[in-house]
Structure 1
């Protein structure tokens, strides 16, 4: 679990106080990885730089990649004589996952693709802080940093991945465009559906998943003020992330990984594109999902897979089916008897 978290509007202003005791010396900088949406904006001026601290602006246009992590690690090691005092991620799921991965790889040998999997990290990460500027992914609380590698899309999933400190400030999410707000919020909703309907479910994960599910219903089907919705979705993201950390996601996320690997589809959109066709697995969840989509008048991309060659569809299916813990959570230990490549390809063809 994340050992330290502060929440509240304006809490970003406490970042300087949080970082000061963690600064080893003036030659060991803090590296701020920041969504490039904020370059030249007011938030940039509020980042508490000292000495030779460095801000690197990160594009969130694409999913994070292992090669991107390795390039950032190489740059930081080349630019500074000492390892940083810490890594601060400010942004959405892409930036937060990159920050977690960079903090790990600065203290572990080899390339980041070698650590894609479960509990492969040998040494603790550098001190790292997550500050979400969008709500839904759960990246601020999860023990994984999801990366697309040369052979697969898979997280660095370990006890060392989790942030040491998280700052939850709802003031930072007010600039999120409506479509992105919906897609990322649905990532949270789908986390809850997959966790609560999974075979890995336990009382601990259930308590978080049920709370997140209820909050998502309030946000997307209720009649809340904008500030209430921002506050509650930020909490839904946290609770949803906690739920899957102690259970697992399921069919939608497995299929979304295939879309992302082959087509570069952003995670939130990918989950939505897939989930609308999963009535067989999550009938009640899909019904609610479609009500939310209709209420907020969100349009999805169409014919995404219509003209794909069979080779791409087969690759997508292979990537999806390689996510064995997700399928086991969704369908049980005998999941191979319930799903195969042909059935997965048939679902992709509907998108």
Structure 2
């Protein structure tokens, strides 16, 4: 069976297009009682960007903290906060920030219409009811969260997304101006998430012309951003992120993302950082990509954390291995259908020990 893939239905791109957000949301406000939740990274508290958010009198500006990776408990807490804020559900949820903030916005929009805890929906196609209309305004580029059908959450037992067609944003606002001032390390880590998406997709057994078309262009844009000096690098990386997300949508990521999930679950390492730590240990599987990644790291002047697993005991190591090896589609994309005979627990342990 071929996947009947759902795309983001509406996208606006261009420097300054954020100013059109109020106009974009207006069709959702069909009555005077309709209200919008703006799920916004709390790093923007009191900033010029916050003052530009098109708040109406009944709207809710919900600042969220993403110092830690998004957790199911936090999603449930935020969802309850939104539900009790007004007598009716919001007509729209808007996520403003990086990948973690956009994932929180997606998760809230889903849990407003699906009963129970978000832990019940960690997996593929478990969501039963359409989400509240939800839009993304990325202020970082690289994660592909603005276009993906998943919202990655860490639960009490696993790190796994709410993977569903209902997760896909209804609207994406791509304004490269909003990424100005991002710290160098953060810019690199999220950009490398995009780069690694492409390497894993293009080297995978799931590769097809749909994924290849998007992945090759995204990879080309990443190389322009991190190996060359372009005045419009922000525009290029924003489109690389979008295209990179599209590439894995009809294929899959691979070994790096599987292992990084283990790092994030146990050690709380942010996704982009975890991907870089894991990718640097995977020269055996992605030799050309890892070599180029190291050149990009040197040119950017960023050095990734080292020896993050050196003090872990057997129980902790086994927890990371359990999380990583639980992501079967990622390993099949990387190694083929008999991946379990190749990526044994001992092999996974040896890779983690290199990190």
Q: Alpha-carbon deviation of 1:175?
A: 1.7
User: Among 23, 42, 61, which residue is 2:29 paired with?
Assistant: 23
TM-superposed CA distance for 1:58, in Å, is: 1.1
Aligned equivalent of 2:151: 145
Cα distance in structure 1, aligned partners of 2:262 and 2:31: 44
Which of 62, 67, 76 is matched with 2:73 structurally? 67
Residue 41 of structure 2 corresponds to 35
- Tell me what 1:306 maps to: 310
- The answer as to 2:239 corresponding to 1:235 is yes
Q: Which residue of 1 aligns with 2:256?
A: 252
Q: 1:222 aligns with which of 214, 228, 232?
A: 228
Equivalent position to 1:172, from 169, 178, 190: 178
Question: Once the two structures are superposed, what CA deviation does each residue of 1:230-280 show, in whole Å capped at 9, x if it has no partner?
Answer: 010000000000000110000000000000000000000000001001011
Q: Among 49, 52, 55, which residue is 1:46 paired with?
A: 52
For each residue in 1:171-213, what CA deviation from the matched residue of structure 2 results, as whole angstroms up to 9, or x when unmatched? 0000210000001000000000000011111111110000001
1:87-236 equivalences under 5 Å are 87-225=93-231, 228-236=232-240
- Quick one: which of 343, 347, 350 aligns to 1:343? 347
Tell me the secondary structure at the aligned position of residue 251 of structure 2.
coil
1:295 deviates by: 1.1
**What TM-score comes out, normalization by structure 1 length?**
0.98
- Which of 264, 282, 297 matches 2:268? 264
Structure 2 portions without partners, runs of 5+: 1-6
Match among 314, 327, 334 for residue 330 of structure 1: 334
Q: 1:66 to 1:24 in 2, by over 3 A?
A: farther
- Measured in 1, the distance between the counterparts of 2:336 and 2:315 equals 29
Task: Say which of 295, 300, 303 aligns to 1:296.
Answer: 300
Is the 1:26–1:51 Cα contact (8 Å) retained in structure 2? Answer: no
Structure 1 segments, 4+ long, off by >4 Å, are: none
Q: What is aligned with 1:55?
A: 61
Provide TM-score, normalisation by structure 2: 0.97
The question of whether the paired residues in 2 share the 8 Å contact of 1:194 and 1:249 is answered with yes
Aligned-pair distance for 1:346?
1.1
- Give the superposition deviation at 1:127: 0.2
Give 3-state SS (helix, strand or coil) of 1:5's partner.
Answer: strand
- 1:303 positional shift: 1.8
Structure 1 distance, partners of 2:326, 2:98, is 26
Aligned length: 349
Measure, in 1, the Cα distance between the counterparts of 2:101 and 2:192: 19
User: Could you say what secondary structure the match of 1:312 adopts?
Assistant: helix
Which residue number corresponds to residue 279 of structure 2?
A: 275
For residue 51 of structure 1, report the CA deviation from its aligned partner.
Answer: 2.3
Query: How far is 1:26 from its partner?
Result: 2.7
- Gaps spanning 5+ residues in structure 1: where? none
Query: Could you tell me which residue of structure 2 aligns to residue 86 of structure 1?
Result: 92
Secondary structure at the counterpart of residue 25 of structure 2: helix
